[in-house]
Amino acid sequence: MNSFRQPETSNVGLFSPQSRVVGGLLSTYDLSGDKIFLDKARDIADRLLPAWNTPTGIPYNVINLSQGRAHNPGWTGGESILADSGTEQLEFIALSQRTGDPKYQQKVENVITFLNKTFPDDGLLPIYINPHSGTTGYSPITFGAMGDSFYEYLLKVWVQGNKTSAVKLYRDMWEKSMKGLLSLIRKSTPSSFTYICEKSGGSLTDKMDELACFAPGMLALGSAGYSPDDSQKFMSLAEELAWTCYNFYQSTPTKLAGENYFFHSGQDMSVGTSWNILRPETVESLFYLWRLTGNKTYQDWGWNIFQAFEKNSRIESGYVGLKDVNSGVKDNMMQSFFLAETLKYLYLLFSPSSVIPLDEWVFNTEAHPLRIVTRDEGGVVKNLNEKKQKPFPRIGGRKEGRTG
């Protein structure tokens, strides 16, 4: 296999190659044990590393993989995006563990160390951060677009490290962020849908992205780390938010969700941006809630969503999004995450819990499973290729149909 190549004039965003390509290659290595996938993951990661060469260590979000030149997009005013800059920890920590080279982990953990120095009591950060000064300035706070996966990774690095004291900082930061999330929770009237607001300055906007529908699954996954009372509180919140996200789908003529929703006093939710591009977040949360509660209702909801995709998005050559979830007019594109995430989580929703068990694997933000490896106090586990591991499981076997 030749080395990855890119035209010298071509730039790529940092988020996609690390989460989709590095994450996918590492996941394939963990599942197959074939070292060629680890070598290719390291090749891409080495090309990405110059993005972290900033005064604060907060990475630029655009890089030329051939020349190693990095910068931020003009439309952000030169700022780095919170989600793009704080969603590399799982992959780069895993890469350091599996190669024995600490440089990848050090780069991404320096970001968290820097942010923790001034981390607010409510754990909520605006979506734009200056990579030179580290200041956040005035920009929206959201669990939707450009904020979402930063909070997801605070929890999942703690899970990835097997919840030891070496990764306690991540859990502590995440719990602060969940206090902040509680301050953004509102209920609609008259339907009593629970939703997550967005915040600008001191003002809240009654708007929730479908992207924020990852939050019920995140809350369910993280609830076990609390005391029994708090655990139940966060699990109940996860279930309430999942009901809202499911109704993002059920409230439209096509039974597919729009990109975002608004909530108005005395009215039901209303779709804002009305396209659907086959996003996975709601079915991701249904998967976690099914695994963690055993409640078959979540399978039923997932089945209904799948049927809506089959009816509205299936074409001869694959699946496409909708330009408008009200009219059902199709677009002409199948996003890569539909295969990597949406269909994968739907498959796992109807698979035995022994397929990618949550006590052995953690999913990155693009649904690529990475093996959980205990972090010692030194942080980096010695090259895992030198350690005896139990055999990598084979994925497949009996495929269960819909139950319940």
Tell me whether the omega of the peptide bond preceding residue 190 falls within 30 degrees of 0, making it cis: yes
Residue 208 near residue 214, CB atoms below 8 Å: no
Asked if 359 and 372 count as a contact pair (C-beta separation under 8 A), the reply is yes
Measured distance CA(218)–CA(284) in Å, rounded: 9
List beta partners, residue 329: none
Task: Read off the tokens for 221.
Answer: 């996954």
User: Of 48, 99, 51, 59, which is closest to residue 82 (Cα–Cα)?
Assistant: 59
CA nearest neighbour of 14 among 67, 53, 71: 71
Active site residue 310: no
- 152, two tokens: 């997801």
The percent of the chain in helix, strand and coil, each rounded to the nearest 5, is 45, 10, 45
| Distances in whole angstroms, Cα of residue 107 to Cα of each of 81, 242, 320 | 17, 35, 37
Residues 276 and 253: their CA atoms lie apart, in Å, by 13
Which candidate in 259, 284, 341, 366 is catalytic? Answer: 259
Residue 387 CA to residue 5 CA, distance in Å, equals 32
Burial of 41 (0-12, 13-18, 19+ CB in 10 A): buried
Q: Which residues are catalytic?
A: 259
